[in-house]
Structure 1
Amino acid sequence: MNDLTLPDGYAGLNFPWDTPPSEGEVIEVADGVLWARLPLPMALDHVNVFFLREPDGWAMVDTGFDTRRTRAILQTLRDGPLSGDPITRLLVTHHHPDHVGLAGFLQSQGAELLMTRTAWLMARMLTLDDQPLPTPETLDFCRKWGMDTDVLARRATERPFNFADIVAPLPVGYTRIADGDTLSFGGRRWHVARGDGHAAEHAVLYEIGGDLVLGGDQLLPGISPNLGLYPSENNADPIGDWLTACDRLTLLARDGHLVLPGHKTPYHGLPTRMASLRQNHIAALNRLHAHLATPRVGGECFAPLFKRKVEGDIYGLAFFETIAHLQHLYLTGRATRTTRDDGVWLWQAA
C-alpha cells in the first residue's frame, strides 16, 4: 500500500465516522452492516472487514492475515457483536493476503467463498508457491530494472515474502463472481464491477437500489493502492490497467454512495475520489517523464513519485511501483529503454 503519495487524497470527501472501531468491536455503518478492523504488522496497520446480516448468520467481506492474533480477534467478534451466529458466506475482493488470509480457515468451518476467477487462482497459486530464496528469474528481473545493488545482494540471501506464511491453505473450490453479475449478498442486491491495476480482476460491488459500495483497495480514500510491476508478468501495464479501470468505474459513481473501503474509513464523495485516483497517476507519470530528461535506471526514479526518502521495508513496494510507471511511459511511447553494458536498462524521456 502506497502512503507516500496523494497529498490531496482526502480533498472533497466526507467521513461520517471520525474514529474507527476499536479492536474486537464494530460500528454499524448501515442497517445490518457492521464495520470492524483487524491489525496488520506493517506501516498500514489495519484492514477493514465488514459483516452483513443474513437470515442464517453473517456474510463477511475480506479477512485480514491468518495469524493467531487475527483468529483471536475474529473469535471475539463472533462471541460479541455477531451474537455467536456463524459466518456462512465470505466475499474476498482481491487476492492480496490481508484480504484473503483467513479465507481457507473460514471455508473449513463451512463458509462459502466468493471471488473472481483471477483472484482465486492467484491466491491459490501463491499459497502453494513456497520459495525459501528468491528465484533466479526474480533476481534477474530486479537487476535489469535497476534495483540498488546493495538491496539486491541482501534480498538474494533472504527468504522472500511468501503467501503461505500468512494465508491459510485454500481448498479446491469456490463460487465465482464476475464483472456484470447481479449478486444477492448480505440481504442486499449488488452489481459486480471489475477493478484492475492494484490486483487483477478486483471485485467492486455497488448496491442495487441503495447507496453502499464495497470498494476493497480499488476505492481507498487518502492513499493510492500499490500499482506494482512484478516478475510474474513482466510485460504487464498496471498503470494502464488502473487508468482504464478508473474510467470504467467513474461511470458508476454517485454522490450519495457510501464507500466501504479496505483501509482507512468509510466516506462519501466517490465521483470526486474517482477523479483524484486517476489524476494522481497522471501527474506522477508527468513528473517521472520530466525526471527522465537525464537517463536513469529504475532505482534512480523514486524522487518524482514519493514524498520522502525510500529505504528499509518500503523500498520493495516503492521500487515495483516506480518501474510500473516507467513501463507505462515506455509502452505509451513517452520513454525509451536502452541496455547498458552491465545488462541494466537505462530510461530516458522520448
Structure 2
Amino acid sequence: MTGTLSYPFPDIPPTASRHEVAPGVYWLRFPLPFALDHINLWLLRDNTGWTVVDTGLGVRPSQKIWKALLAEQLDGLPLTRVIVTHYHPDHLGLAGWLQQETGAEVLISRGEWELTNIICDAPEADTIERLRTFLGGHGLRGENLDKVAGKGNGFRRVVQPLPVSPGFLSAGDSLSINGQCWQVHVGCGHSPEHLCLYREQDHLLISGDQVLPTISSNLNVRAAEPDMDPVTDFVDSLKALRDNLPDDTLVLPAHGLPFRGLRARVDALVEHHDEQLDRVQSACRERPQSAFDILPVMFDRKLDVQQLMFAMGESIAHLNCLMQQGRVQREQVDGIWRFSA
C-alpha cells in the first residue's frame, strides 16, 4: 500500500513471459530505451486464440521478445487480435509487424489512426522546420533547439510497417473477448482518442497511459495545433473515468504496477495539474515568461533531449490552459510568445 493505492502484484514478470493478474488476463513487460524504461502489454485469452493490448516499440529487440512469446507463451494458440490504445510508438510500434507475422486483426480509434498517418506522411524537412518554428517561437533557441528539431520524424522510424486496414473502436463500443464483455472508454489530452477497456464482470480497467500510478502522462501541444488545450481535455477525461467506474477497479496501466484506488489516483492527478497551473501563473505574475522560461518552474530535474521536447510541449500545454481560463495573456516579443498574468 502506498498512500491510498494498493498494489496487488508487486513482482514484475520476467521479459518474454506472462503473469496472470485476473482470469484470462496476463501481464507482459517490455523494455524501452528511454528514461521511462518499460511498457506493460496485456494479453487476453480469446476463445481459440489471444488478443493483446498494445505492442511495444518498433525495434528489433522487441521483435525478438515477441518471437519468443509467440513460440513459447501462447499455449500453441494464435494471436488473432491486436488492440492499440493510442498512436505513441511504444504502443503502436509493432502493430503492423505483428499483423504480418500472425495475420491478427488490428483495432485502434479513428482519431489515433488519422494522426498516425498525418505524422508518418510528413516529409522530414517539413517536420524539422515546423518544430524549429513552433518551439523557437516559445523560447527554445540555440543548441537546444538544434538538438530537439534535429530528431526530425523519429516517429516514423519506429512504427513501420503500419498495419493494413485496421478496424476502428469508439467510445461506447463493446468487445466480446473470450465470451466476456469489455466496454470501450475514450480519453483525451495525452492523445486524441485514447482507448481504455473495462471489464465490468470483475471491475478491470486496461488504462494505457490515461491513468498511471506514479506519474502523469505527458500532455503535449503539437505544432500543427498550437493553441490546443490538452490539460483541460485530460482532466475532464480523468474525471469521467472516476465518476463512471467503481473505486475497487483493478487498473492495468501501461507503465508502473497494477493498482487499486482509481478515484484517489484521479484526484491526485487533477490536484497535480491544478498545482502546476498555479505555479506557472505565479511565475507569469513576476514577469512575462516564455514556455522555455517556465521549464524550471515545472521540472526540477535535468532534461535530456527527448525529455526536453516533451517538457516544452507540457509547458506550452499549461500556458495554453491558463490562457483559455483567462488567467494569463500572451504577446509576441522579438519572435517569442511571452505570457503574463
- TM-score over 0.5 for the pair: yes
Alignment of 1:277-296 (within 5 A): 277-293=269-285, 294-296=287-289
CA distance in 2, matches of 1:242, 1:316: 19
CA distance in 1, matches of 2:265, 2:298: 19
The match for 1:42 is 34
The match for 1:62 is 54
Which of 162, 168, 177 is 1:170 aligned to?
Answer: 162
The change in CA–CA distance for 1:70 and 1:297 in structure 2 (over 3 A counts) is same
The match for 1:112 is 105
Query: Residue 322 of structure 1 aligns to a residue in which SS?
Result: helix
Q: Which amino acid aligns with 1:69?
A: P
Q: Which amino acid aligns with 1:131?
A: E
Which of 84, 89, 93 is 2:85 aligned to?
Answer: 93
The match for 1:331 is 324
Deviations 1:24-62 (A, max 9, x none): 112100111110111111001111111111122100000
Q: Which amino acid aligns with 1:345?
A: W
Residues 48 and 261 of structure 1 are in contact (CA less than 8 Å); yes or no, is this contact kept in structure 2? yes
Q: Point out where structure 1 has 5 or more consecutive residues left out of the alignment.
A: 1-9
Which of 111, 124, 144 is 1:131 aligned to?
Answer: 124
The change in CA–CA distance for 1:25 and 1:130 in structure 2 (over 3 A counts) is farther
CA distance in 2, matches of 1:77, 1:130: 35
What is the Cα deviation at residue 185 of structure 1? 2.5
Query: Residue 230 of structure 1 aligns to a residue in which SS?
Result: coil
The match for 1:208 is 200
CA distance in 1, matches of 2:262, 2:186: 16
CA distance in 2, matches of 1:125, 1:230: 12
What is the Cα deviation at residue 318 of structure 1? 0.8
The match for 1:147 is 140
What is the Cα deviation at residue 334 of structure 1? 0.4
Structure 1 length as normaliser, TM-score? Answer: 0.92
CA distance in 2, matches of 1:154, 1:68: 25
Which of 250, 253, 256 is 2:245 aligned to?
Answer: 253
What is the Cα deviation at residue 213 of structure 1? 0.4
Query: Residue 316 of structure 1 aligns to a residue in which SS?
Result: helix
Query: Residue 264 of structure 1 aligns to a residue in which SS?
Result: coil
Q: Which amino acid aligns with 1:123?
A: T
Residues 205 and 252 of structure 2 are in contact (CA less than 8 Å); yes or no, is this contact kept in structure 1? yes
Number of residue equivalences: 339
CA distance in 1, matches of 2:200, 2:185: 12
Deviations 1:114-157 (A, max 9, x none): 1111012222332333515744332111111111333113445x
Residues 220 and 263 of structure 1 are in contact (CA less than 8 Å); yes or no, is this contact kept in structure 2? yes
CA distance in 1, matches of 2:292, 2:272: 21
Query: Residue 85 of structure 1 aligns to a residue in which SS?
Result: coil
Greater length-normalized contact order (CA 8 Å, ≥ 6 residues apart): 1
Residues 53 and 187 of structure 1 are in contact (CA less than 8 Å); yes or no, is this contact kept in structure 2? no
Residues 59 and 186 of structure 1 are in contact (CA less than 8 Å); yes or no, is this contact kept in structure 2? no
What is the Cα deviation at residue 309 of structure 1? 3.3
CA distance in 2, matches of 1:308, 1:73: 32
| Higher percent of residues as helix | 2
Q: Which amino acid aligns with 2:171?
A: D
Which of 94, 102, 106 is 1:102 aligned to?
Answer: 94
CA RMSD between the two structures: 1.8
